[in-house]
């Protein structure tokens, strides 16, 4: 998969670039790498451009209060859409102004991955497929060499996440076989179609199977080496029947 990486340096943390490129490497080849900003104000990003072969795009503000950087990045994205063979656009920003751009790229059959802070506006996060939180992305160190390592949420934390559990329950209900069990692949496909912004990596898990297991909210069984899940059923009442005094 050919990927175009476009970075809004006004709304992105330069420390996240290690984890972002690591994530994209698992998905395809990032041949186009561009970072947009006013380099008078983005010294933090400047140090990360050359080591990762990212092309800096200088954009001065024309009018105070207007974001020329957003406009430049959106125009470039549209030019790439029609002039290059791009399968996936990776947009690094937490700015909801890019939501119309995402929708346009999706309408043209392109994959759009968003990277940004968890507090990014919901319309932008929901438009991306998926949106990956970068809050915990960091530069590799000797003690923590992984460039991205979101803190894994505990079982209790996951059970307290109403949105997550509702999505998982809906997926299992919608795709369940006659006996109530649902193949993991069908769960993932349902989420990709109905809640594409959701990613297990935002909860600290690399795959859906590990996240579902961690909730401890669903039963699991293996069939032909494939995991199946269903909602836990209440245990049957095994207490002995209590009868009244005999009339004999």
Contact 90, 111 (CB under 8 A): no
Give me the pLDDT at residue 145, please.
66
What is the pTM for the complete model shown? 0.75
Residue 231: is it exposed, middle or buried by C-beta count within 10 angstroms (0-12/13-18/19+)? middle
Supply the pLDDT for residue 237.
Answer: 56
Q: Where are the beta strands (DSSP E) in the chain?
A: 2-8, 29-37, 55-58, 88-92, 111-116, 131-133, 182-183, 218-223, 226-231
pLDDT value, residue 51: 87
- The domains located in the chain, with CATH, are 2-133 (3.40.50.1010), 155-231 (3.30.420.610)
Cα 175 from chain centroid (whole Å): 22
**pLDDT > 60? residue 248:** no
**Residue 246 predicted with pLDDT over 60:** no
Mean pLDDT in residue range 238-247 = 53
59-116: pLDDT as tens digits = 776 655 457 788 899 999 999 999 999 999 999 999 889 999 999 999 999 999 999 9
Residue 176: pLDDT over 50? yes
Looking at residue 65, its pLDDT comes to 47
Closest CA to 127 of 82, 97, 84, 170: 97
pLDDT (tens digit, 9 = 90+) per residue, 16-35? 888 899 889 989 999 999 99
């Amino acid at each position: 998969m050919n990927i175009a990486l476009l970075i809004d340096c006004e709304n992105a943390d330069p420390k996240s670039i290690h984890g972002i490129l690591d994530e994209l490497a698992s998905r395809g080849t990032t041949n186009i790498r561009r970072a947009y900003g006013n380099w008078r104000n983005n010294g933090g990003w400047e140090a990360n451009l050359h080591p990762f072969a990212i092309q800096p795009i200088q954009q001065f503000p024309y009018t105070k209060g207007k974001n020329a950087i957003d406009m430049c990045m959106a125009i470039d994205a549209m030019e790439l859409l029609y002039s290059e063979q791009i399968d996936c656009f990776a947009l690094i920003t937490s700015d909801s102004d890019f939501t119309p751009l995402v929708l346009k790229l999706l309408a043209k059959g392109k994959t759009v991955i968003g990277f940004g802070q968890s507090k990014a506006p919901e319309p932008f996060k929901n438009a991306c497929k998926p949106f990956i939180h970068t809050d915990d992305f960091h530069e590799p160190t000797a003690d923590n060499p992984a460039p991205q390592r979101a803190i894994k949420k505990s079982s209790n934390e996951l059970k307290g996440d109403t949105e997550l559990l509702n999505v998982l329950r809906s997926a299992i209900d919608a795709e369940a076989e006659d006996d109530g069990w649902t193949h993991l692949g069908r769960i993932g496909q349902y989420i990709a179609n109905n809640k594409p912004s959701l990613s297990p990596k935002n909860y600290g898990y690399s795959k859906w199977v590990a996240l579902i297991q961690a909730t401890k909210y669903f039963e699991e069984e293996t069939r032909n080496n494939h995991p199946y899940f269903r909602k836990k059923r209440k245990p049957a009442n095994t207490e002995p029947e209590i009868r009244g005094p005999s009339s004999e």
